[in-house]
Structure 1
Amino acid sequence: MAKNLQQPKPDWIRIKLTTGENYQDIKDMMRSKTLHTVCEEARCPNIYECWANRTATFMILGDICTRACRFCAVNTGKPTELDLQEPERVAEAAEKMNLRHCVVTSVARDDLQDGGASIFAGTIKAIRARLPFCSVEVLIPDFQGDEASLQIVMDAKPDILNHNIETVERLSDRVRARAKYRRSLELLQRAKAMQADIPTKSSIMLGVGEEWDEILQAMDDLRAVDCDILTIGQYLQPSPQHLHVEKYYTPEQFAMLKEEGLKRGFSHVESGPLVRSSYHAHEQVDSAKKHMKGVSAQS
């Protein structure tokens, strides 16, 4: 019997289309400064809501990724762009938006010796110079496991260090390109060893064939490396060439997973069908730091 590869979207997968003045302002600013956002490149379902609230996730190091993960809509190929002035342009845009919390991510740049770590560090410093009260979160690739590259980022002291495991261990090689599940856990563990006071964060997307027990095991694996913040969302197929959706989880199931995560000791769990890694990110940094202060006071 032929397998039904196309699951119909359930009623709870609804994207809020808000394209007012703020949305257009941010779109125009990104174009004028030749900046990229993961909101656009990864076709994030929350782009309208976030941009209407003057929140955006900057994507540095160009818009061509050296990897071809089967879930991701970002262009893949041989990058041609390395702009050393990019950190300053990101900082200018963040200042113009008067951001309280800024998220910076990137494509994977396996063609660079440090994987782009120095550009991440430069961006953190440039934002801090213009917006000293703005918290900065970075969502980094795995730098192919290079510890020195991670150290460059951690030395710049981001407010949150984010690296996504994306899926459960059994499916990792099929879903991700070159990235390894255990290497990702090791990166999060090393980040804590380098800067114990910086909260770490990771994300899992559901609907690519994982089992419930495997999701709980992934949570346990993240807590075993002292990961503080977890986001859980529904995978949505960006094109016919990408992985098919195997299952749509209900809002009730996402609520159950949030409770499971909090029981395991995550300081903050964001769990819902349209949740993505930087969704409501400004709320997560505050709760993580309060949690860490509470743990320090008890020890």
Structure 2
Amino acid sequence: MSTTEEAVRPARIPEWMRRPIQTDKEYSETHNALKKNGLHTVCEDAKCPNRHECWNHGTATVMILGNICTRDCRFCSIAFGKPEGLDLDEPRRVADAVEKMKLKHVVITSVTRDDLLDGGAEIFAQTITAVKERVPGLTVEVLTPDFWGRKESLYKVLDAGPIVFNHNVETVKRLQRSIRSGATYERSLKILKMASEYGDGSIRVKTGIMLGLGETNEEVMECLQDIYDHGIRLLTIGQYMAPTRDHAHTKRFVTPKEFVDFEDAAYEIGFDAVASGPLVRSSYRADKMLKA
């Protein structure tokens, strides 16, 4: 085998990345509530390895604004293309599903909609308002695109009152251009910093990165410091797994001990809550991080 062939072959999945698939009554009820209301979830569209665990607990991350993304990032399995219109009834249907799932904490995310002037911020705001009105006491977390760094779009979302604002940096600075389509490290940090400075600071700000894309430990530590310096206090660190052979290859699988080491380092920097592990994703057991 040539050196070139070795370089592009995806890494073999280690045992610690494998987990049994188990479903129960709550899984089926969550699945049915989402499908009955014609909703998409990042759990399915992004092929999250934790969806069975989360759905068994009656929780899910709802994906609004359709399931066609205007950016073709090399790490993401969500379909790329030209979205068709805007579903103005979506906020109501999300509220229906959230009520039927009897959720206490919901994560609302979306595809990137660069075709919309506000990037979909108005639908985000309407959805937040609808689920809070339908389920009093519900806490809402949002995971948004970068809105091209526009403060007016960001504030439209924040004005609706989510308890957590999340936008993922995804990877270290050097790898941004090769991994993220249309996004930049600086713009992501800018939108996160604006969120951290919004209002009275009661909205928690969160971001996440993936490991295994070819970053060095030094670059990871620099990234963590940059994130902290921009006001973010909630952090997730997980393993990148290539969705298909056509996506960016998984360069290596980071060991569980290394994830613990990065978590310890993040706490030393000053983060309030850190979830770091091979199967951690940005919305994994999101309600637990609120207790920090």
TM-score (norm 2): 0.96
Q: Is the 8 A contact 2:40 2:62 kept in 1?
A: yes
> Where do residues 278-297 of structure 1 align in structure 2 (5 Å cutoff)?
278-287=283-292
Contact 1:254/1:272 (<8 A) preserved: yes
How many Å separate the matches in 2 of 1:15 and 1:63?
A: 27
In the TM superposition, 1:42-61 aligns within 5 A as: 42-61=46-65
1:16–1:48: 8 Å Cα contact kept in structure 2?
no
Equivalences for residues 201-280 of structure 1 within 5 A = 201-280=206-285
Moved over 3 A (4+): none
Q: Which runs of 5+ in 2 are unaligned?
A: none
CA contact (8 A) 2:29 2:101 kept: no
2:204 paired residue number: 199
The AA in structure 1 aligned to 2:140 is V
**Is the contact made by 1:234 and 1:248 (CA closer than 8 Å) also made in structure 2?**
yes
> Which runs of 5 or more structure 1 residues have no equivalent in the other structure?
288-299
* 1:100 paired residue among 99, 104, 116: 104
Q: CA deviation at 1:166?
A: 0.1
Which residue does 1:2 correspond to in 2?
4
Matched residues in 1 for 2:102 and 2:205: separation?
25
Task: Measure how far apart 1:3 and its partner are.
Answer: 4.0
Alpha-carbon distance between aligned partners in 1 of 2:85 and 2:63, rounded to the nearest angstrom = 13
User: Within 5 Å, which residues of 2 pair with 1:135-214?
Assistant: 135-195=139-199, 196-214=201-219
Question: What SS does the aligned partner of 2:44 have?
Answer: helix
Q: How many residues align?
A: 287
Q: Which residue of 1 aligns with 2:132?
A: 128
Distance in 1, Cα, partners of 2:88 & 2:48: 27
Q: Which amino acid aligns with 1:204?
A: I
Give percent identity, aligned residues only: 47
Q: Aligned-pair RMSD on alpha carbons?
A: 0.9
1:174-198, CA deviations, whole angstroms, 9 ceiling, x for partnerless residues? 1100011000000011112223221
Given that 1:16 and 1:49 are in contact with CA atoms closer than 8 Å, whether structure 2 keeps it comes out as no
CA shift, 1:81, in A, is 4.0
Q: Is this contact kept in 2: 1:231–1:276, CA < 8 A?
A: yes
Once residues 158 and 113 of structure 2 are traced to their aligned partners in structure 1, the CA distance between those partners, rounded to angstroms, is 18
- Superimposed CA distance per residue, residues 239-297 of structure 1 (whole angstroms, 9 cap, x where no aligned partner): 0100101010000000001101111111100000000000110011221xxxxxxxxxx
Residue 236 (structure 1) shift: 0.5
Question: How many angstroms apart in 2 are the aligned matches of 1:7 and 1:39?
Answer: 23
